[in-house]
Amino acid sequence: MKWKPLVVAALLTVAVAYYIYQPLPDAIEKPWKLMMLDATFRTMMHLGFLKEWLDLGHSISSVKSSLESFEGFMTVDSRGGVIPGVKFTDTTFAGVPVRVYEPPAGGEGHLRRGLMYLHGGGWAFGSGKFGTYDSISSMVSDELNCVVVSVDYRLYPEVHFPEPFLDCLAAAKHFLSPEVLARYAIDPERVAVSGDSAGGNLAAAVAQEISTDDGVPVKFSVQALIYPVLQALDFNTPSYVQNQNMAVLPRHTMVRFWLQYLNADLSLLPQFIANNHSSSLHSAFTTELRSRLDWTVLLPPKFKKNHTPLVVEKKGSPEILKKVPGLLDRRAAPLLAEAAAIAKCPRAFIMTCEYDVLRDDGLMYAQRLRDAGVTVSVEHLEDGFHGCFGFIAWPLDFDVGKRAVRAYVSWLQSNL
């Protein structure tokens, strides 16, 4: 009978290995570390769903608590300690919570750079005060002699679109006011807006809104977008298909984030994945509108490969716009903005990752900006995956993450 515990242990080991293991592209470094990270995130989500099923709270609230606990195990600063001289202050801009990072004292009499950062997390998770966001903001403040404002906009499930956007816009207008810029000794000609993932979405939307608002005298001079999510009409772009089962952000998770953000029924997820929501039967999806996210024209040839567009002709859900009106709102989907609005945007840095469902969103936006006459720099990480920009501190340190952060800081150093 002594063999039974060994069999049970062996079966449990196989089950755990099966749960953790996920095929990854050969280019991914430290694949087992990424598998463990992905399994941790999936476990948090599954436990959250279980707690909600047991009426013990909202699943997202549960995941938020788990993520905050997880952050405690990470090294706070990627360079091994607190950056001397950088101070931060928690305050509010137009009623929105922000953390302001100010560079070390010195060089009085010289105006400094300014940067507003909007964190990612699917409009549901995260805070600029946590982990590597805090670390990177400190680093940018120190290395670029820059005042960094990290915005803690409201999140799902407490709010939906457009509230997070409106929070970021209100904070941006406050930051760009001449009085605030003067208070922090910021050069009004050197102010950036930046963000990653859902934060990249908000940064692009805010940049568009500020650029086209004649009532805002000071504009952002640059925008730096890290694998931004920019549209919700086509979930069958080459990158969505190629990376549909990729670790950290598979396609179904990104679609779920969109449904949550737009306050849509989560049961619509299969229809969105099948592109039924953007059927050609919908009169609102005009040819001109579709051209704004036509990847067959906007993507470089190397990313199209042998993929073909999926435009649903005979099926679809004609009532979808009534249920989800935000689908066509440029404040939610900046890629859909008209050319005239895009032409007014500041020059851009866009980072994309090969193994990321959002890769083509960023590349299409880069091309639309170029077509409108805006200067764009694209940093494409051939071995990158979604979220890598934040994975620079032990135990979630990846070389590609460190290279991503260095490319971002270097571009700001030269362009802001």
Residue 203 maps to which CATH number?
3.40.50.1820
* pTM summary value: 0.92
Q: Clarify whether residues 181 and 246 are in a common domain.
A: no
Regarding whether 306 and 243 lie in a shared domain, the answer is: yes
Residue of 119, 174, 282, 386 marked catalytic? 386
Q: How many CA atoms, within 13 angstroms, populate the side-chain half-sphere of residue 367?
A: 16
Ranges of the chain with pLDDT below 50:
7-8, 11, 14, 75-81
**Catalytic (active site) residue 239:** no
Q: Which of 59, 141, 197, 317 is catalytic?
A: 197
Whether residue 205 sits in one domain with residue 141: yes
- Shared-domain flag, residues 138 and 180: yes
**Could you tell me if residue 333 is inside a domain?**
no
Write out the H or E segment, with its range, that includes residue 188.
Answer: strand 186-196
Residues 313, 366 within the same domain: no
Residue with tokens 């400094």: 112
Strands of the 87-93 sheet, one edge to the other: 87-93, 96-102, 146-151, 112-118, 186-196, 222-226, 347-355, 376-385
Q: 3-class SS at 356?
A: coil
Per-residue pLDDT reduced to its tens digit, 52-67: 677 777 777 766 666 6
Whether residue 256 sits in one domain with residue 382 = no
Range of the domain at 52: 29-66
Structure tokens at 47: 């436990």
Please confirm, yes or no, whether 197 is among the known catalytic residues.
yes
Q: Maximum CA pair distance of the chain?
A: 81
Q: Are residues 182 and 216 in the same domain?
A: yes
CA distance linking residue 411 with residue 409, whole number of Å: 5
Is 69 an annotated catalytic residue? Answer: no
Whether 113 and 50 map to the same domain: the answer is: no
How many domains does the chain contain in total? 3
Do both 176 and 196 map to the same domain?
Answer: yes
Per-residue pLDDT at 75: 42
pLDDT of residue 49: 72
Domain for residue 358, yes or no? yes
| Per-residue pLDDT, 109 | 58
- Residue 136 in any domain: the answer is yes
Domain boundary among 304, 328, 352: 328
- Bridge-partner residues for 226, per DSSP? 196, 351
Provide the angle, in degrees to the nearest 10, between the axes of the packed helices 131-144 and 399-415. 40
Same domain, 205 and 97: yes
Domain boundary among 297, 328, 359: 328
Question: End-to-end CA distance of the chain, in Å?
Answer: 71
Q: Is 122 left (phi over 0), alpha (psi -120 to 50) or beta?
A: left
Judgement on whether residues 215 and 350 belong to the same structural domain of the protein = yes
From CA 94, how far away is CA 72, in angstroms rounded?
30
pLDDT given for residue 45 in this prediction = 75
Q: Compute the CA torsion angle 382, 246, 255, 231 (nearest 10 deg).
A: 10
User: Which SS3 state, helix, strand or coil, does residue 217 take?
Assistant: coil
Three-class SS of residue 350? strand
The answer to whether position 336 is within a domain reads: no
| Pair 150, 292 in one domain | no
Contact in structure between 148 and 141 (CB atoms under 8 Å): yes
Residue 82 lies inside a defined structural domain of this protein: no
Options 38, 134, 152, 356, the catalytic residue? 356
Residue 15 resides in a domain: no
Q: Which pLDDT belongs to residue 73? A: 52
